[in-house]
């Protein structure tokens, strides 16, 4: 549980060529959820803060999380093969009664593994907690101790990652932050929707009364003792500023000059 007192929200823009947020991966198949997991966000923050894998996670796991899907991207399936450099037969996906992988029969020396990624996706993650902890995490993300990744080490984030800290309830922070999709996506949407000032974006929020259960709250990242517990979430849509035209309720800069507009692109 997080300590009582003033609370604030840390906003992270999760974007990059590839992301992968697995919660049910095992052996030769590495899945990705269509949006970031809490374990992935906690892992990113722990890496930024320089915490070793055996470090306690109570304060980070107790943070409230909200994810807004600004650009869903698409699924990429990676053709990937693995083998034992010592020339030994590989293990199969089947397990024994003790949970150990059984050897392949007949023996195989090369496996084709299933690895899935999200490509060209953009998410807005809001992490709410005690003001002091949020300030510490904001500094850590700005000056990370370990390299940061979007679910896997091979998926580095694009800039900007840190959007800043907000003094507002988590849902309000997600609702008022401008749409973070790429300029090309926003421009295409604007042409179809008359450059509307707001767009309804899907979001998933931590909610004790939510009707969905996620088994992705990390209790330990220790390599030999990775354990997780569940959380309840709620799915909704939040109207966010598009930045394509002035919003009477929230005036600010427009999307800017489009040099290709005269060409009809």
* pLDDT-based confidence at residue 25 (cuts at 50, 70, 90): low
The pLDDT > 70 percentage for the chain reads 89
Provide mean pLDDT across the span 33-56.
Answer: 95
Is residue 187 one of the residues assigned to a domain? Answer: yes
pLDDT for position 93:
75
CA distance 240 to 176: 6
Between strands 227-241 and 212-220, the pairing is: antiparallel
Is residue 47 one of the residues assigned to a domain? Answer: yes
pLDDT for position 88:
77
Is residue 149 one of the residues assigned to a domain? Answer: yes
pLDDT greater than 50 at residue 262: no
Closest by alpha carbon to 147, among 10, 38, 46, 53?
46
Write the pLDDT tens digit of every residue in 176-185. Answer: 999 999 999 9
C-alpha dist (Å) from residue 58 to 3, 64, 208, 219: 11, 12, 18, 7
Strand partners, 212: 233
Q: How many domains does the chain have?
A: 1
CA distance 208 to 234: 9
Provide mean pLDDT across the span 87-95.
Answer: 80
Sequence-distant (≥ 6) Cβ neighbours of residue 49 within 8 angstroms: 136, 137, 140, 145
Q: CATH no. for residue 52?
A: 3.30.70.2660
pLDDT for position 94:
84
- Quickly list DSSP for the chain: -PPSS-EEEEEEEEE-SEE---SS-BTTEE---SS--HHHHHHHHHHHTT--TTS--HHHHTSEEEEEEEE--EEEEEEEEE--TT-PPPEEEEE-TTSPEEEPSS--S-EEEEEEEEES-EEEEEEEEEHHHHHHHHHHHHS-SS---SSSTT-PPPSP-EEEEESS-HHHHHHHSPP-S-HHHHHHHHHHHTT-SEEEEEEEEE-TT-SEEEEEEEEE--TT--EEEEEEEEEEEEEEE-SSS-BTTB--------TTGGGT-
Instruction: Give the domain extent around 236.
Output: 7-77+118-263
The pLDDT > 90 percentage for the chain reads 69
pLDDT greater than 90 at residue 232: yes
Q: Around Cβ 12, how many Cβ atoms within 10 Å?
A: 25
Provide mean pLDDT across the span 154-162.
Answer: 94
Mean pLDDT of the chain: 88
C-alpha dist (Å) from residue 19 to 133, 145, 157, 203: 26, 21, 8, 18
Is residue 83 one of the residues assigned to a domain? Answer: no
CA distance 127 to 141: 13
CA distance 73 to 119: 5
Q: For 115, phi and psi rounded to 5 degrees?
A: -130, 130
Is residue 110 one of the residues assigned to a domain? Answer: no
Is residue 84 one of the residues assigned to a domain? Answer: no
Of 112 and 45, more confident: 45
pLDDT for position 260:
46
Is residue 90 one of the residues assigned to a domain? Answer: no
The packing angle between helices 131-142 and 38-48, to 10°, is 70
CA distance 144 to 228: 25
Name, of 15-29, 103-117, 187-201, 214-228, the range with top average pLDDT: 187-201
Write the pLDDT tens digit of every residue in 206-224. Answer: 999 999 999 999 999 998 8
Is residue 165 one of the residues assigned to a domain? Answer: yes
pLDDT for position 73:
93
* pLDDT-based confidence at residue 4 (cuts at 50, 70, 90): low
């Amino acid at each position: 549980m997080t300590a009582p007192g003033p609370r604030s929200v840390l906003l992270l823009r999760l974007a990059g060529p590839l992301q992968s947020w697995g919660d049910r991966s095992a052996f030769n198949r590495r899945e990705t959820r269509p949006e970031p997991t809490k374990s992935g966000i906690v892992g990113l923050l722990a890496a930024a803060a320089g915490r070793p894998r055996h470090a306690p996670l109570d304060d980070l796991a107790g943070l409230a999380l909200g994810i807004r899907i600004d650009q869903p991207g698409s699924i990429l399936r990676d053709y990937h093969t693995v083998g034992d450099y010592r020339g030994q037969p590989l293990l199969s996906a089947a397990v024994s009664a003790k949970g150990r992988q059984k050897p392949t029969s007949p023996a195989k020396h090369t496996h084709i593994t299933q690895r899935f990624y999200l490509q060209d996706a953009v998410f807005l993650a809001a992490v709410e907690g005690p003001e002091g902890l949020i300030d510490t995490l904001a500094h850590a993300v700005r000056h990370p101790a370990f390299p940061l990744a979007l679910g896997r080490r091979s998926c580095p984030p694009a800039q900007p990652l840190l959007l800043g800290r907000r003094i507002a309830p988590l849902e309000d922070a997600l609702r008022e932050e401008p749409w973070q999709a790429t300029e090309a996506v926003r421009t295409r949407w604007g042409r179809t929707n008359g450059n509307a000032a707001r767009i309804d974006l899907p979001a998933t929020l931590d909610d004790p009364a939510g009707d969905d259960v996620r088994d992705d709250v990390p209790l330990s990242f220790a390599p030999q003792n990775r354990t997780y517990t569940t959380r309840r979430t709620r799915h909704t849509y939040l109207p966010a500023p598009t930045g394509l035209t002035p919003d009477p309720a929230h005036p600010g800069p427009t999307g800017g000059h489009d040099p290709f507009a005269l060409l009809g692109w």
